[in-house]
Chain A
Amino acid sequence: MPELRKERLDRGVKVRSDSIYALSSMKEILYLLGPGLVLILLLLVLPLVVSPYWQRVMAITGVYALLSISFGFLANYVGLVSLGGAFYVGVGGYLSGLLNAAGVPLILSIPIATLLGAVICTLLLLPCLPLRGVYFAIISFIYPLFAGRLIAATGYFGGTDGIPGLDRFPSIWVALYMAIFILLIVLYGLSRMVNYEDVGLVFRGVKDNELAIKASALNLTWYKVQAVFISSAMGTFAGAYLAHLYGWVGMSLFAIDFSILPVAATVVGGSGTLYGPLLGALILVPASESMRAFGTLRIVFYAVLLVFFVVFWTEGILDFLKRKYEQFEHWVRI
């Protein structure tokens, strides 16, 4: 029996677009832009065709996608693994809820809660920024737990009951397209920043090597602060958005789901880019929604999937698809 080996060759257009050659045809441009265009079109058109229930699921998916990108950005490009997504969500949600309950209209309370919330989160995380790796992960994991328990214990901000009766979005269309546009803007802005701006290189440097950043006369803490601010702003927006989607804020905004799902999405989608976490969220959230009938068994399924991806299929779905898209594969005899 002849032995076979899988040979992989990059497609010509991939080779050329990686270096500095010009593209030669419309077809090649389409080839490169295709995946992005498909994503944008899908996000814009899908709400028009699905049922109201799935429109709501889409909105929530958007929120999780935002959180996943926030996690992926901080973990892949700055090297801070923050398991505290729920903290951002909670802070943003409660801020927006408190503002709204005090009479600030939704159109103002969301942006104010996003920015102010990000400032608050960044300030609170500031003392932990020197911590590395696992320790930052642990402490950021503790923050939302702490905040949730503190609200329950003190009874401030409505205690265990939360703050009900907040303004809702005028219609699901407004809510949904708001989520989608914010998502697209964030994606575009962030990927430009990490790939084409010099500050993106500094962030990568922070991840790769903190000492070299210090030796390059760059204030390490200041760049970490910037990155945490950007990332937490996405989270606080997600929280403020959810507050008005549900018309209610409560301790569940600090729930562990908001911290764990972004991690799962990044693991499943693939790390290394911003699109991996996005893809992961787009797959996981609807999948989890359609398994609602199974009760907590769905979490078991999740957990097993997570372990499978993190242990056995570390490249994630995105890299797999990318390889299929960019390379020819065929078996050759050796």
Chain B
Amino acid sequence: MDLIIYGIVNSITLILMSIGFALAYGVSRVPNFAHGALFILAGYLTWVFRYRVDLPYWLSIILALIIVGLVGIALYQFILIRVRGMPISEIIASFGVGLAILEFLRWSGLRGTAHMLPPFISGTVRIFDVPLDYQRIIVIFGGIGILLFLWAFTTFTKTGLSLKAIAQNERAGLVLGIDADRAATVAVSLGAVFAGVAAVILLPLGNIVVEMGYEVLVFAIAVSVCGGLGSWKGAVLASFLIGFAQTITVSFVAPHYHFVMALFIIIIVLIFKPSGLFGRQKELEERV
């Protein structure tokens, strides 16, 4: 039973980590390799506002999210826009930005285990006899909430619909008068905000450490690549696949295999089903 519950928590953690990356890639085909850095940046900013500036917790979170969103906009408008359509340059540029952010944070003092965010509500409940702290329950609802929000956003709002249109057929979108660059800016910055949301929900479970930025990036890539890019269903399914595979390896083999497992799954999926779990012919052609 605890396997199932922790599996679900783990899977939703992965969804949270990867949804921003998947969104930015799915919509604007920008592989935002600064994703992990934005994640850590949001967490660290929240910490700074909370403990250095002494703002209330909720205000720190909102401020951090706004700043990360702005960083996302700047990232696209000043840097990525100049290398659009050159995937390798996009990767190098965004990874460079991420690297700069992470290592700057490390240099400016984000080291050791001193940086922690408090859980929103502390305490534990027992569900089916499995102890589960409230923060993990918030993780579950946060993940579901984000998915619902995304679904509503891309189904009912005009901006969301235009994002979807661009994702499906950029040229047709352009003909219909959708500004692809604006859509991409929105997507990248929304992706950054999602990274921030994930950070404030997930980081209370552990320390804010720079290494986590790299891990988040790898997990985000893992989920997006396995799921078939631009496919929500795929991303969710891949999260559950990887999440449960990790939980199972952790409880039956050894805890330090959990990262190995994620990497192993990417390699296997890319080799045997290069279009991803839900990828379509179009993606297959893109990849092979």
Which residues on A are within 8 Å of B, measured CB to CB? Answer: 75, 81, 127-128, 130-135, 137-139, 142-143, 145-146, 149-150, 152-153, 263, 267, 295-297, 299-300, 302-304, 306-307, 310-312, 314
SS class, residues of chain B in contact with chain A: helix
Q: Could you list 9 examples of A-B contacts with CB < 8 Å?
A: A133-B88, A134-B31, A135-B270, A139-B270, A299-B103, A304-B100, A306-B92, A307-B92, A307-B93
Q: What is the CB-to-nearest-CB distance from A314 to chain B, in angstroms, rounded to a whole number?
A: 8
Q: Which of B162-181 contact A (CB under 8 A)?
A: none
A134 to B99, Cβ gap below 8 A? no
Known: A134-B87, A267-B92. A303 touches B287 (CB 8 A): no
- Partner of B287 from A132, A143, A267, A300 at Cβ < 8 Å: A132
A152 to B256, Cβ gap below 8 A? yes
| Interface presence of B271 (CB below 8 A) | yes
B267 to A146, Cβ gap below 8 A? yes
A131 to B103, Cβ gap below 8 A? no
A142 to B96, Cβ gap below 8 A? no
Contacts of B146 in A (CB 8 A): none
9 tightest Cβ-Cβ pairs between the two chains A and B:
A303-B100, A303-B99, A307-B96, A146-B263, A299-B103, A306-B96, A127-B271, A303-B96, A134-B87
Contacts of A152 in B (CB 8 A): 256
Q: Which of B80-129 contact A (CB under 8 A)?
A: 82-83, 87-89, 91-93, 96-100, 103-104, 106-107
B263 to A310, Cβ gap below 8 A? no
Question: CA separation between A17 and B97, bound complex, in Å?
Answer: 42
Q: Which of B264-282 contact A (CB under 8 A)?
A: 264, 266-267, 270-271, 274
Question: CA separation between A239 and B104, bound complex, in Å?
Answer: 29
A145 to B270, Cβ gap below 8 A? no
Q: What is the CB-to-nearest-CB distance from B249 to chain A, in angstroms, rounded to a whole number?
A: 10
Q: What is the CB-to-nearest-CB distance from B61 to chain A, in angstroms, rounded to a whole number?
A: 26
Give 11 A-B pairs besides A132-B288, A135-B225, A296-B103 with Cβ atoms closer than 8 angstroms: A133-B87, A134-B88, A139-B266, A145-B218, A263-B92, A296-B107, A299-B99, A300-B100, A300-B107, A310-B83, A314-B89
Q: What is the CB-to-nearest-CB distance from B267 to chain A, in angstroms, rounded to a whole number?
A: 6
- Partner of A137 from B83, B88, B96, B103 at Cβ < 8 Å: B88
Question: CA separation between A312 and B82, bound complex, in Å?
Answer: 8
Chain A, residue nearest B224 (CB): A138
Interface core residue of B83, B99, B271 (most chain A CB under 10 Å): B99
Question: CA separation between A297 and B267, bound complex, in Å?
Answer: 33
- Partner of A297 from B107, B257, B271 at Cβ < 8 Å: B107
B288 to A310, Cβ gap below 8 A? no
Contacts of A128 in B (CB 8 A): 267, 270-271
Question: CA separation between A108 and B116, bound complex, in Å?
Answer: 52
Question: CA separation between A307 and B91, bound complex, in Å?
Answer: 10
Contacts of A139 in B (CB 8 A): 266-267, 270-271
A153 to B287, Cβ gap below 8 A? no
B274 to A135, Cβ gap below 8 A? yes
Chain B, residue nearest A83 (CB): B91
Query: 1/0 contact trace for B201-213 toward A, CB 8 Å?
Result: 0000000000000
| Interface presence of B286 (CB below 8 A) | yes
Contacts of A304 in B (CB 8 A): 96, 100
Question: CA separation between A306 and B106, bound complex, in Å?
Answer: 19
Chain A, residue nearest B218 (CB): A145
Q: What is the CB-to-nearest-CB distance from A207 to chain B, in angstroms, rounded to a whole number?
A: 12
Query: 1/0 contact trace for B64-89 toward A, CB 8 Å?
Result: 00000000000000010011000111
Q: What is the CB-to-nearest-CB distance from B111 to chain A, in angstroms, rounded to a whole number?
A: 9
Question: CA separation between A76 and B34, bound complex, in Å?
Answer: 25
A153 to B256, Cβ gap below 8 A? yes
- Partner of B104 from A81, A131, A263, A300 at Cβ < 8 Å: A300
Contacts of A306 in B (CB 8 A): 92-93, 96, 99
B91 to A149, Cβ gap below 8 A? no
Question: CA separation between A203 and B271, bound complex, in Å?
Answer: 23
Question: CA separation between A134 and B288, bound complex, in Å?
Answer: 11
Known: A134-B88, A311-B79, A311-B93. A149 touches B263 (CB 8 A): yes
- Partner of A81 from B88, B97, B271, B288 at Cβ < 8 Å: B88
Contacts of B256 in A (CB 8 A): 149, 152-153
Question: CA separation between A75 and B92, bound complex, in Å?
Answer: 14
Known: A133-B87, A135-B287, A312-B82. A150 touches B93 (CB 8 A): no
B103 to A300, Cβ gap below 8 A? yes
Contacts of A149 in B (CB 8 A): 256, 259-260, 263
Question: CA separation between A142 and B287, bound complex, in Å?
Answer: 16
Known: A134-B31, A306-B92. A142 touches B107 (CB 8 A): no
Question: CA separation between A329 and B270, bound complex, in Å?
Answer: 50
Contacts of A150 in B (CB 8 A): 260
| Interface presence of B9 (CB below 8 A) | no
